[in-house]
Structure 1
Protein backbone atom coordinates (compact mmCIF):
# COMPACT_ATOMS: atom_id res chain seq x y z
CA UNK A 1 0.00 0.00 0.00
CA UNK A 2 2.79 2.44 0.91
CA UNK A 3 4.50 1.85 -2.47
CA UNK A 4 1.28 2.80 -4.29
CA UNK A 5 0.98 6.00 -2.22
CA UNK A 6 4.60 6.93 -3.03
CA UNK A 7 3.99 6.31 -6.76
CA UNK A 8 0.88 8.50 -6.64
CA UNK A 9 2.91 11.22 -4.91
CA UNK A 10 5.56 11.05 -7.62
CA UNK A 11 2.97 11.30 -10.42
CA UNK A 12 1.29 14.24 -8.68
CA UNK A 13 4.66 16.01 -8.28
CA UNK A 14 5.43 15.60 -12.01
CA UNK A 15 1.95 16.72 -13.04
CA UNK A 16 2.26 19.85 -10.88
CA UNK A 17 5.72 20.53 -12.31
CA UNK A 18 4.30 20.33 -15.84
CA UNK A 19 1.41 22.67 -15.04
CA UNK A 20 3.91 25.27 -13.73
CA UNK A 21 6.06 24.70 -16.81
CA UNK A 22 3.15 25.39 -19.16
CA UNK A 23 2.02 28.42 -17.11
CA UNK A 24 5.53 29.91 -17.44
CA UNK A 25 5.05 30.12 -21.23
CA UNK A 26 2.03 32.35 -20.74
CA UNK A 27 3.78 34.50 -18.13
CA UNK A 28 6.94 35.14 -20.17
CA UNK A 29 6.97 37.99 -22.67
CA UNK A 30 9.72 36.15 -24.64
CA UNK A 31 7.60 33.01 -24.98
CA UNK A 32 7.27 31.43 -28.42
CA UNK A 33 3.85 30.03 -27.44
CA UNK A 34 0.43 31.58 -26.90
CA UNK A 35 -2.45 30.18 -24.86
CA UNK A 36 -3.84 28.17 -27.79
CA UNK A 37 -0.45 26.51 -28.36
CA UNK A 38 -0.08 25.06 -24.86
CA UNK A 39 -2.28 22.03 -25.63
CA UNK A 40 0.31 20.96 -28.23
CA UNK A 41 2.97 20.40 -25.56
CA UNK A 42 3.23 16.63 -25.02
CA UNK A 43 5.00 14.52 -22.44
CA UNK A 44 5.82 10.89 -21.76
CA UNK A 45 3.82 9.40 -18.90
CA UNK A 46 5.59 10.04 -15.57
CA UNK A 47 8.03 7.19 -14.98
CA UNK A 48 9.96 6.93 -11.74
CA UNK A 49 12.56 4.69 -13.43
CA UNK A 50 13.89 7.86 -15.07
CA UNK A 51 14.53 9.57 -11.76
CA UNK A 52 18.10 8.40 -11.27
CA UNK A 53 20.60 8.74 -8.46
CA UNK A 54 23.82 10.32 -9.71
CA UNK A 55 27.28 10.74 -8.33
CA UNK A 56 28.60 14.25 -8.87
CA UNK A 57 32.24 15.12 -9.39
CA UNK A 58 33.18 18.80 -9.58
CA UNK A 59 35.68 20.00 -12.15
CA UNK A 60 38.38 21.95 -10.34
CA UNK A 61 39.22 24.36 -13.16
CA UNK A 62 37.45 24.58 -16.47
CA UNK A 63 38.33 27.04 -19.18
CA UNK A 64 35.33 28.81 -20.71
CA UNK A 65 34.39 27.51 -24.16
CA UNK A 66 31.76 28.24 -26.78
CA UNK A 67 28.74 26.04 -27.38
CA UNK A 68 27.11 26.49 -30.80
CA UNK A 69 23.43 27.44 -30.85
CA UNK A 70 20.62 26.68 -33.27
CA UNK A 71 20.92 30.18 -34.77
CA UNK A 72 24.60 29.78 -35.64
CA UNK A 73 25.76 32.02 -32.79
CA UNK A 74 27.59 30.71 -29.73
CA UNK A 75 27.18 30.97 -25.96
CA UNK A 76 30.03 30.73 -23.47
CA UNK A 77 29.96 28.05 -20.76
CA UNK A 78 32.36 26.23 -18.49
CA UNK A 79 32.14 22.63 -17.32
CA UNK A 80 31.06 22.71 -13.68
CA UNK A 81 31.21 18.97 -13.12
CA UNK A 82 30.07 15.54 -14.23
CA UNK A 83 27.19 13.28 -13.24
CA UNK A 84 27.55 9.50 -13.49
CA UNK A 85 24.54 7.22 -13.17
CA UNK A 86 22.73 4.16 -14.48
CA UNK A 87 19.59 4.43 -16.59
CA UNK A 88 17.80 1.48 -18.18
CA UNK A 89 20.58 -0.70 -16.76
CA UNK A 90 23.29 1.18 -18.70
CA UNK A 91 26.06 3.36 -17.30
CA UNK A 92 25.87 6.96 -18.45
CA UNK A 93 27.42 10.33 -17.75
CA UNK A 94 26.50 13.93 -18.41
CA UNK A 95 28.50 17.11 -18.07
CA UNK A 96 26.95 19.92 -16.04
CA UNK A 97 27.62 23.39 -17.45
CA UNK A 98 27.62 26.90 -16.07
CA UNK A 99 26.77 29.89 -18.24
CA UNK A 100 29.37 32.62 -18.05
CA UNK A 101 26.68 35.24 -18.80
CA UNK A 102 24.16 33.99 -16.24
CA UNK A 103 26.69 33.72 -13.42
CA UNK A 104 26.90 37.55 -13.47
CA UNK A 105 23.13 37.81 -12.87
CA UNK A 106 22.27 37.61 -9.14
CA UNK A 107 19.07 35.66 -9.90
CA UNK A 108 20.94 32.95 -11.82
CA UNK A 109 24.46 32.94 -10.37
CA UNK A 110 23.94 29.41 -8.99
CA UNK A 111 22.16 28.13 -12.12
CA UNK A 112 23.51 24.99 -13.78
CA UNK A 113 22.58 23.57 -17.17
CA UNK A 114 22.45 20.07 -18.63
CA UNK A 115 21.75 19.96 -22.37
CA UNK A 116 21.51 16.40 -23.70
CA UNK A 117 20.49 14.22 -26.60
CA UNK A 118 19.47 10.58 -26.40
CA UNK A 119 18.21 7.86 -28.73
CA UNK A 120 14.71 9.39 -28.78
CA UNK A 121 16.06 12.70 -30.16
CA UNK A 122 14.45 13.29 -33.53
CA UNK A 123 11.70 10.71 -33.90
CA UNK A 124 10.03 11.17 -30.49
CA UNK A 125 11.67 14.17 -28.86
CA UNK A 126 13.10 17.41 -30.21
CA UNK A 127 16.01 16.57 -32.52
CA UNK A 128 18.08 19.48 -31.22
CA UNK A 129 18.13 17.94 -27.73
CA UNK A 130 16.44 18.64 -24.43
CA UNK A 131 17.50 20.40 -21.25
CA UNK A 132 17.54 19.95 -17.49
CA UNK A 133 18.31 22.69 -14.95
CA UNK A 134 19.90 22.48 -11.52
CA UNK A 135 20.97 24.84 -8.78
CA UNK A 136 24.37 24.47 -7.10
CA UNK A 137 22.88 23.66 -3.69
CA UNK A 138 21.29 20.52 -5.19
CA UNK A 139 24.78 19.06 -5.71
CA UNK A 140 25.95 19.33 -2.12
CA UNK A 141 27.14 16.02 -0.73
CA UNK A 142 28.32 14.57 -4.03
CA UNK A 143 25.02 12.91 -4.98
CA UNK A 144 21.81 14.07 -6.59
CA UNK A 145 18.57 12.70 -7.93
CA UNK A 146 18.30 13.72 -11.59
CA UNK A 147 14.72 13.53 -12.84
CA UNK A 148 14.45 13.12 -16.60
CA UNK A 149 10.67 13.46 -16.22
CA UNK A 150 11.46 17.18 -15.97
CA UNK A 151 13.45 17.28 -19.24
CA UNK A 152 12.14 20.08 -21.42
CA UNK A 153 12.47 21.40 -24.96
CA UNK A 154 14.30 24.62 -25.78
CA UNK A 155 12.29 27.47 -27.32
CA UNK A 156 13.73 26.46 -30.72
CA UNK A 157 11.44 23.41 -30.67
CA UNK A 158 8.47 25.78 -31.09
CA UNK A 159 9.77 28.71 -33.13
CA UNK A 160 12.78 29.84 -35.16
CA UNK A 161 14.75 32.89 -34.07
CA UNK A 162 16.03 31.72 -30.68
CA UNK A 163 19.65 30.96 -29.70
CA UNK A 164 19.31 27.49 -28.18
CA UNK A 165 22.55 25.74 -27.15
CA UNK A 166 23.15 22.48 -29.00
CA UNK A 167 24.15 19.67 -26.60
CA UNK A 168 27.90 18.94 -26.93
CA UNK A 169 28.92 15.49 -28.15
CA UNK A 170 29.89 14.38 -24.63
CA UNK A 171 26.24 14.82 -23.58
CA UNK A 172 24.83 12.49 -26.24
CA UNK A 173 23.46 9.50 -24.33
CA UNK A 174 23.47 6.07 -25.96
CA UNK A 175 20.19 5.13 -24.30
CA UNK A 176 16.51 5.98 -24.79
CA UNK A 177 15.22 8.53 -22.27
CA UNK A 178 11.46 7.96 -22.56
CA UNK A 179 10.67 10.66 -20.02
CA UNK A 180 9.99 14.36 -20.04
CA UNK A 181 8.82 16.46 -22.96
CA UNK A 182 8.15 14.95 -26.39
CA UNK A 183 8.12 16.62 -29.82
CA UNK A 184 5.83 19.63 -30.05
CA UNK A 185 2.56 18.66 -31.77
CA UNK A 186 1.80 22.17 -33.04
CA UNK A 187 3.12 24.07 -36.02
CA UNK A 188 6.62 25.49 -35.61
CA UNK A 189 6.70 29.24 -36.22
CA UNK A 190 9.18 30.64 -38.75
CA UNK A 191 8.57 34.38 -38.58
Structure 2
Protein backbone atom coordinates (compact mmCIF):
# COMPACT_ATOMS: atom_id res chain seq x y z
CA UNK A 1 0.00 0.00 0.00
CA UNK A 2 2.84 2.37 0.90
CA UNK A 3 4.47 1.64 -2.46
CA UNK A 4 1.26 2.51 -4.31
CA UNK A 5 0.95 5.82 -2.45
CA UNK A 6 4.61 6.61 -3.18
CA UNK A 7 4.21 5.84 -6.89
CA UNK A 8 1.04 7.97 -7.12
CA UNK A 9 2.81 10.86 -5.35
CA UNK A 10 5.77 10.66 -7.73
CA UNK A 11 3.47 10.57 -10.74
CA UNK A 12 1.60 13.62 -9.45
CA UNK A 13 4.87 15.54 -8.96
CA UNK A 14 6.05 14.57 -12.45
CA UNK A 15 2.74 15.65 -13.94
CA UNK A 16 2.93 19.06 -12.22
CA UNK A 17 6.51 19.50 -13.37
CA UNK A 18 5.47 18.84 -16.97
CA UNK A 19 2.59 21.33 -16.72
CA UNK A 20 4.89 24.11 -15.49
CA UNK A 21 6.11 26.01 -18.55
CA UNK A 22 9.80 26.95 -18.36
CA UNK A 23 10.69 30.65 -18.41
CA UNK A 24 11.94 31.56 -21.88
CA UNK A 25 14.95 33.73 -22.56
CA UNK A 26 18.42 33.72 -24.07
CA UNK A 27 20.02 35.73 -21.25
CA UNK A 28 19.40 36.20 -17.49
CA UNK A 29 17.90 39.63 -18.26
CA UNK A 30 15.42 38.15 -20.73
CA UNK A 31 14.44 35.36 -18.32
CA UNK A 32 13.97 37.82 -15.46
CA UNK A 33 11.76 40.08 -17.58
CA UNK A 34 9.69 37.15 -18.84
CA UNK A 35 9.25 35.88 -15.28
CA UNK A 36 8.02 39.31 -14.14
CA UNK A 37 5.54 39.51 -17.01
CA UNK A 38 4.24 36.01 -16.30
CA UNK A 39 3.71 36.69 -12.57
CA UNK A 40 0.31 38.27 -11.84
CA UNK A 41 1.79 40.28 -8.94
CA UNK A 42 4.43 42.01 -11.09
CA UNK A 43 3.07 41.87 -14.64
CA UNK A 44 1.93 45.08 -16.41
CA UNK A 45 -0.12 43.01 -18.86
CA UNK A 46 -3.89 42.96 -19.06
CA UNK A 47 -5.27 39.76 -17.54
CA UNK A 48 -6.28 38.36 -20.94
CA UNK A 49 -2.82 39.10 -22.39
CA UNK A 50 -1.09 37.51 -19.39
CA UNK A 51 -3.09 34.30 -19.80
CA UNK A 52 -1.86 33.99 -23.39
CA UNK A 53 1.67 35.18 -22.54
CA UNK A 54 4.53 32.85 -23.49
CA UNK A 55 7.41 35.33 -23.57
CA UNK A 56 8.47 38.73 -24.85
CA UNK A 57 10.06 39.05 -28.26
CA UNK A 58 13.72 40.10 -28.17
CA UNK A 59 16.40 40.85 -30.71
CA UNK A 60 19.11 38.20 -30.60
CA UNK A 61 21.77 39.06 -28.03
CA UNK A 62 24.61 40.98 -29.69
CA UNK A 63 27.74 41.99 -27.78
CA UNK A 64 28.32 44.75 -30.36
CA UNK A 65 25.52 46.64 -28.59
CA UNK A 66 27.40 46.72 -25.30
CA UNK A 67 29.36 49.98 -25.41
CA UNK A 68 31.63 51.76 -22.99
CA UNK A 69 30.55 55.40 -22.90
CA UNK A 70 32.54 58.36 -21.64
CA UNK A 71 30.51 59.82 -18.77
CA UNK A 72 30.44 63.57 -18.26
CA UNK A 73 28.72 64.80 -15.10
CA UNK A 74 26.68 67.93 -15.83
CA UNK A 75 26.60 70.24 -12.83
CA UNK A 76 24.05 72.91 -11.92
CA UNK A 77 21.29 71.49 -14.13
CA UNK A 78 17.77 72.74 -13.44
CA UNK A 79 15.04 70.36 -12.34
CA UNK A 80 12.37 70.02 -15.04
CA UNK A 81 9.04 68.27 -15.52
CA UNK A 82 9.37 65.38 -17.94
CA UNK A 83 6.39 64.87 -20.21
CA UNK A 84 4.52 61.58 -20.03
CA UNK A 85 1.74 59.93 -22.01
CA UNK A 86 -0.69 61.25 -19.34
CA UNK A 87 -1.05 64.53 -17.46
CA UNK A 88 1.49 63.38 -14.85
CA UNK A 89 4.76 65.35 -14.99
CA UNK A 90 7.44 63.79 -12.75
CA UNK A 91 10.47 65.88 -11.86
CA UNK A 92 13.83 64.92 -13.32
CA UNK A 93 17.24 66.47 -13.63
CA UNK A 94 19.80 65.88 -16.34
CA UNK A 95 22.54 64.08 -14.43
CA UNK A 96 25.13 63.70 -17.16
CA UNK A 97 26.06 62.98 -20.75
CA UNK A 98 27.18 59.73 -22.33
CA UNK A 99 29.47 59.91 -25.37
CA UNK A 100 30.03 56.64 -27.21
CA UNK A 101 30.88 55.02 -30.52
CA UNK A 102 28.56 52.49 -32.16
CA UNK A 103 29.06 50.92 -35.57
CA UNK A 104 31.73 53.46 -36.45
CA UNK A 105 29.64 56.49 -35.52
CA UNK A 106 29.72 58.87 -32.55
CA UNK A 107 26.61 59.36 -30.42
CA UNK A 108 25.46 61.29 -27.36
CA UNK A 109 22.74 60.43 -24.86
CA UNK A 110 21.62 62.40 -21.84
CA UNK A 111 21.06 60.41 -18.66
CA UNK A 112 18.58 61.52 -16.00
CA UNK A 113 17.78 61.25 -12.32
CA UNK A 114 14.25 61.14 -10.91
CA UNK A 115 13.99 63.61 -8.01
CA UNK A 116 11.38 61.60 -6.09
CA UNK A 117 12.75 58.14 -6.79
CA UNK A 118 16.20 58.87 -5.31
CA UNK A 119 14.47 59.35 -1.93
CA UNK A 120 13.40 55.69 -2.03
CA UNK A 121 15.67 53.18 -0.32
CA UNK A 122 17.62 51.19 -2.88
CA UNK A 123 17.25 53.81 -5.62
CA UNK A 124 19.63 56.47 -4.31
CA UNK A 125 22.06 55.92 -7.19
CA UNK A 126 19.50 55.02 -9.88
CA UNK A 127 19.81 56.72 -13.27
CA UNK A 128 17.28 56.70 -16.10
CA UNK A 129 18.38 56.32 -19.73
CA UNK A 130 15.50 56.69 -22.20
CA UNK A 131 16.21 56.62 -25.94
CA UNK A 132 14.53 56.38 -29.31
CA UNK A 133 15.96 55.07 -32.57
CA UNK A 134 15.18 54.06 -36.15
CA UNK A 135 13.54 50.76 -35.15
CA UNK A 136 10.71 52.53 -33.28
CA UNK A 137 7.31 51.91 -34.80
CA UNK A 138 8.72 49.13 -36.98
CA UNK A 139 10.27 46.38 -34.86
CA UNK A 140 10.12 48.20 -31.53
CA UNK A 141 7.65 50.25 -29.54
CA UNK A 142 6.96 53.59 -31.21
CA UNK A 143 7.53 55.61 -28.05
CA UNK A 144 11.12 54.47 -27.54
CA UNK A 145 12.71 52.32 -24.86
CA UNK A 146 14.45 52.60 -21.50
CA UNK A 147 17.65 51.30 -19.90
CA UNK A 148 18.32 51.24 -16.16
CA UNK A 149 21.69 52.49 -14.94
CA UNK A 150 23.52 53.48 -11.76
CA UNK A 151 25.76 56.42 -10.92
CA UNK A 152 29.25 55.39 -12.11
CA UNK A 153 32.25 55.61 -9.81
CA UNK A 154 34.53 56.92 -12.54
CA UNK A 155 34.31 58.72 -15.86
CA UNK A 156 32.80 55.87 -17.89
CA UNK A 157 29.54 53.92 -17.94
CA UNK A 158 28.72 50.74 -19.84
CA UNK A 159 25.51 50.88 -21.87
CA UNK A 160 24.05 47.46 -22.67
CA UNK A 161 21.39 47.99 -25.31
CA UNK A 162 20.52 44.28 -25.01
CA UNK A 163 18.82 45.32 -21.75
CA UNK A 164 16.61 47.94 -23.39
CA UNK A 165 12.99 47.46 -22.35
CA UNK A 166 9.61 48.98 -23.20
CA UNK A 167 7.74 51.37 -20.89
CA UNK A 168 4.75 49.73 -19.22
CA UNK A 169 2.33 51.86 -21.26
CA UNK A 170 3.40 49.78 -24.28
CA UNK A 171 1.43 46.94 -22.68
CA UNK A 172 -1.31 48.62 -20.69
CA UNK A 173 -2.85 52.08 -21.10
CA UNK A 174 -3.38 52.48 -17.34
CA UNK A 175 0.31 53.29 -16.87
CA UNK A 176 1.88 56.74 -17.07
CA UNK A 177 5.28 56.65 -18.78
CA UNK A 178 7.93 59.31 -19.46
CA UNK A 179 8.22 60.32 -23.10
CA UNK A 180 11.75 60.05 -24.45
CA UNK A 181 13.24 63.57 -24.74
CA UNK A 182 13.97 64.51 -28.35
CA UNK A 183 17.65 65.00 -27.44
CA UNK A 184 17.89 61.26 -26.89
CA UNK A 185 17.00 60.24 -30.42
CA UNK A 186 19.66 58.03 -32.02
CA UNK A 187 19.81 58.32 -35.80
CA UNK A 188 20.55 54.62 -36.22
CA UNK A 189 18.93 51.22 -35.74
CA UNK A 190 19.40 49.71 -32.28
CA UNK A 191 18.73 46.05 -33.03
CA UNK A 192 18.99 44.93 -29.43
CA UNK A 193 16.70 44.53 -26.45
CA UNK A 194 12.94 44.10 -26.34
CA UNK A 195 10.88 44.26 -29.50
CA UNK A 196 7.33 45.50 -30.00
CA UNK A 197 4.68 43.65 -27.97
CA UNK A 198 2.28 41.69 -30.15
CA UNK A 199 -0.95 40.63 -28.51
CA UNK A 200 -2.12 37.09 -29.10
TM-score range, shorter chain: 0.7 to 0.9
Corresponding position: 1:119 with 2:163: no
Gap runs ≥5 in structure 1: 1-12
Pairs within 5 Å for 1:127-146: 127-136=142-151, 139-146=152-159
Pairs within 5 Å for 1:99-118: 99-118=114-133
Secondary structure in 2 aligned to 1:121?
coil
Secondary structure in 1 aligned to 2:128?
strand
State which of 74, 82, 85 in structure 2 corresponds to 1:67. 82
Residue equivalent to 2:183 = 170
Secondary structure in 1 aligned to 2:187?
coil
Secondary structure in 2 aligned to 1:95?
strand
Gap runs ≥5 in structure 2: 1-24
Q: How many residues align?
A: 173
Contact 1:40–1:186 under 8 Å retained in 2: no
Distance in structure 2 (CA, Å) of the matches to 1:40 and 1:151: 16
Offset from partner CA, 1:12-65 (integer Å, 9 cap, x none): x96111101221234573532254354251000001111111000001121110
Residue equivalent to 1:186 = 199
CA RMSD between the two structures: 1.8
Distance in structure 2 (CA, Å) of the matches to 1:125 and 1:94: 19
Measure how far apart 1:72 and its partner are.
3.2
Contact 1:71–1:161 under 8 Å retained in 2: no
Residue equivalent to 1:8 = none
Distance in structure 1 (CA, Å) of the matches to 2:98 and 2:159: 9
Pairs within 5 Å for 1:77-116: 77-116=92-131
Contact 1:14–1:150 under 8 Å retained in 2: no
Distance in structure 1 (CA, Å) of the matches to 2:97 and 2:38: 33
Over 3 Å counting, the alpha-carbon distance change for 1:28 and 1:36 in structure 2 is closer
Contact 2:68–2:156 under 8 Å retained in 1: yes
